[in-house]
Amino acid sequence: MSKERNGYGKPLDEIEPLTSGDEAFREKFISWKLPDLTMTDVKEYLKEKDTVLIPMASTEQHGPHLPLDTDTITALEISRRVSQKIGVLYTRPVWMGYSPQHMHEAGQGRGTITIRSSTLQSLLYDIGRSLIHHGFNRLIFINGHGSNVKVIDPLLRKLRYDTGALVSFVKPYMENYVGILEGLMENPPEETPGWHASELETSQDMAWNEDLVRMDRAEFTKAHIPDFLPDSFAKKDGMPDVEFEGFKYFTFPMDHHEFIETGVIGNPTRATPEKGEEAFERLSTHVAKGILELMEVPVEIHDREFVDRV
């Protein structure tokens, strides 16, 4: 196995695999990254396994201290670690996502690249159908960008209904739901450690490549209600819903800069690369274990050929 590395230099093949007894299978491949392989390698892989990971995220502003690639780093690193742990292939990341709220006003130079929901659905459908066409039966989308959740359901259902493939969408990050990262972040809930460019994302980017993180620019900033809403409403995070009388029943199509000027929701100043490494490891181990279970589920493909491909 090649010395495939993450951003800060730790060889991924030093991470202990979750399974044993597949050494002969592993030795057949120089990489678990699909585009690194030849068509002969892919055919050899499909003789024994039919699972493929598809990392997907976005290119969008993450405040003055984090790179635009932050969400894609999350999806790609989780995918690489999962692949190394259990010996499954992963594709190149889909680096653009549904991010209209991060565009800001024209000419402001925020750098976000967004695509329309219909474009994202069509793009992912064609990727999925291509993979199913070749013999993959289990498609696992590894998502790194929260707003993709808003538009992904029709795509997942269409792939399943059209082909019979096992299709899963995994969200290995923390926003409102702490989950497996319980106890890892130092920030209290009011400092939203899992939100946009806060403690978690900053830690993960530092673990990936500390040179990309400008901690000299990092500041603690809180979300607030947009100017168009009365003071009787309240907002603390990046969700589209807002509080009224302590309850969240109202939702508005808000842009990010309307409730946080800097792009940072929370306190990134307690971030460390060690926290990022631990977060990557907890999340990838959990996802890998789940995929091992899914690899045992019977799958019946009823329509494999990607006929409508032009």
DSSP string, 126-175: HHHHHHHHHT--EEEEEE--GGGHHHHHHHHHHHHHHH--EEEEE--S-S
- Degrees, nearest 5: CA angle 19-23-28: 125
Q: How far lies 174's CA from each of 70, 126, 166, 205, 297, in Å?
A: 14, 29, 25, 14, 28
Residue 190: which pLDDT band, with cuts at 50, 70 and 90?
A: confident
Position 178 in a domain = no
Distance separating alpha carbons of residues 24 and 310, to the nearest angstrom: 39
Position 42 in a domain = yes
Indicate whether 64 pLDDT > 50. Answer: yes
pTM of the model: 0.92
Is residue 240 within 8 Å of 256, Cβ to Cβ? Answer: no
Indicate the SS3 state at residue 17.
Answer: coil
Residue 23: which pLDDT band, with cuts at 50, 70 and 90?
A: confident
pLDDT tens digits for range 240-264: 999 999 999 999 999 999 999 999 9
166-170, strands of its sheet edge to edge? 89-90, 51-56, 138-143, 166-170
Find the distance separating the first CA and the last CA of the chain, reported in whole Å.
Answer: 37
Is residue 134 within 8 Å of 305, Cβ to Cβ? Answer: no
Q: Could you tell me how far CA 36 lies from the centroid of its own chain?
A: 21
What pLDDT is recorded for position 22? 79
Position 221 in a domain = no
Is residue 177 within 8 Å of 146, Cβ to Cβ? Answer: no
DSSP letter assigned to residue 104: -
Locate tokens 């692949």: which residue?
A: 83
- Degrees, nearest 5: CA angle 243-249-105: 65
Is residue 230 within 8 Å of 243, Cβ to Cβ? Answer: no
Q: How many domains in the chain?
A: 1
Distance separating alpha carbons of residues 244 and 261, to the nearest angstrom: 22
Is residue 57 within 8 Å of 148, Cβ to Cβ? Answer: yes
Position 20 in a domain = yes
Position 206 in a domain = no
Locate tokens 């499954």: which residue?
A: 88
> What is the CATH number for 96?
3.40.50.10310
Residue 148: which pLDDT band, with cuts at 50, 70 and 90?
A: very high
Residue 51 belongs to domain spanning: 12-173+280-294
Position 161 in a domain = yes
- Kindly state the tokens that stand for 129: 């159908």
Position 105 in a domain = yes
Distance separating alpha carbons of residues 142 and 93, to the nearest angstrom: 9
- The chain-wide mean pLDDT, for the chain, equals 92
pLDDT tens digits for range 73-119: 999 999 999 999 999 999 999 999 999 999 999 999 999 999 999 99
Distance separating alpha carbons of residues 80 and 4, to the nearest angstrom: 9
Following DSSP, what letter does each residue of 192-255 receive, concatenated? Answer: -TTSTTSHHHHHHHHHHHGGG--GGG---B-----TTS-TTEE--SSSSEEEETTEEEEE----
Position 259 in a domain = no
- Kindly state the tokens that stand for 263: 């792009």
Q: How far lies 235's CA from each of 41, 228, 238, 264, 277, in Å?
A: 51, 13, 8, 14, 30
